[in-house]
Structure 1
């Protein structure tokens, strides 16, 4: 099977998991909850990222994921994409837990999407696509503005919860860090193969 087809199967599978979790209403068991994580429920660092507050939240985040994957599809194959998403979830959850002690609960994929967007933009830059610089500058400007101005009130109303702008910042930083690790790993492999 062609790599692009398997990538879209992975995106569909992740979308179905997220929708199924919303349908089953598993927030009590899987949402990022600081107190439960402190008592050993470490899976919440990852699983909270694929849960949502309502169906509008699901729809917006999944549409965002599809758009981001479409823009950077040439950089991914199914297994690499799923591994990147898992790593972004782990970095996001851990980052929120360690760096934002005031955040007691969190659900949503938007932080991960900021990381995925940054990672893809850096892949564009590595492939000498000038648009990568514009995309990276855009996501950095958006996240920087949110840290100053806060989340969009219309989105807050639609999803029934405050926009966790800290999650967007941690997602962005996670994407940058993971790309740095990926780049270093690629360089090390090239060195050892020559």
Structure 2
């Protein structure tokens, strides 16, 4: 062990120590004559650790972020939450799974109650018809239809992929930014993704992928303002490329079928807007 720095004994370094553990930095903090001494196992970590420690001690916002990250469910440097860390995200995934089963993956009559507008009750082939159908649907009080297409899935692979991505990203938003902020993000990205998809192609669509794109857009942009989320930068590039591919005939050529491209685009834009509107803050959790 290399002796790095001696600090006042009343300085709370618990959060900083947990954060170092998550970064894979082997260290030890000992008591010596009423003071604390920081030791590192590897000397090459000295400069970056001292720089991080200086920021931790000098700035309250950095200290809050590090302390929050230190309490995060990270093991071996990887985000590994349990259901208790993100109950809202888990609830959304469970509801989507149950409705996928109950509706027979969108094949039963019940699925008509979850579409943006009822495709059997209104003509929707033209843009004007879609606007009229939407106006009549909202006038009748069926406001839930603006959100419920999220819970329609047409294959188990479809819902499994969306669930995995939403759990990985959404659980981080709920943990670091709070349940209220995640719910706001969910509602806004749902409304934008579903509405844009409906206006372009009609009510025959469904899935959580618009929300997933929204959460990804939020995480990417909000991360620039305060680093706290864990995801590979290549994920954003892959998502953008996949979205662009969706606007080509390629998915249908290879047998995937037509993708809800406008939902992906609307969700991503919604996530970016929410990242601009909602400044990163400390979460308030019960």
| Structure 1 position 32, deviation (Å) | 2.4
| Structure 1 position 74, deviation (Å) | 5.2
SS of 1:168 mapped into structure 2: helix
Q: 1:111 touches 1:172 (CA, 8 Å); kept in 2?
A: yes
Q: Which residue of the partner structure matches residue 175 of structure 1?
A: 271
CA distance in 2, matches of 1:49, 1:110: 8
Matched, 1:31 2:115: yes
Q: 1:21 to 1:3 in 2, by over 3 A?
A: farther
Q: Which residue of the partner structure matches residue 115 of structure 1?
A: 214
Q: 1:32 to 1:73 in 2, by over 3 A?
A: same
RMSD, matched Cα = 3.3
Q: Which residue of the partner structure matches residue 92 of structure 2?
A: 14
| Structure 1 position 144, deviation (Å) | 3.1
Structure 2: where are the runs of 5+ without partners? 1-70, 74-81, 104-109, 123-132, 282-286
SS of 1:151 mapped into structure 2: helix
Q: How does 1:87-166 map to 2 (within 5 A)?
A: 87-98=188-199, 100=200, 102-128=201-227, 135-148=235-248, 150-151=250-251, 156=256, 162-166=258-262
Q: Which residue of the partner structure matches residue 185 of structure 2?
A: 84
Cα shift readout 1:7-63 (whole Å, capped 9, x = no counterpart):
421122111111121222131111223645343144222111121113332222112
CA distance in 2, matches of 1:74, 1:91: 24
The structure with higher relative contact order (CA 8 Å, sep 6+) is 1
Name the count of aligned residue pairs: 178
Larger proportion of strand: 2
Q: TM-score, normalised by structure 1?
A: 0.73
SS of 2:247 mapped into structure 1: helix
| Structure 1 position 124, deviation (Å) | 1.2
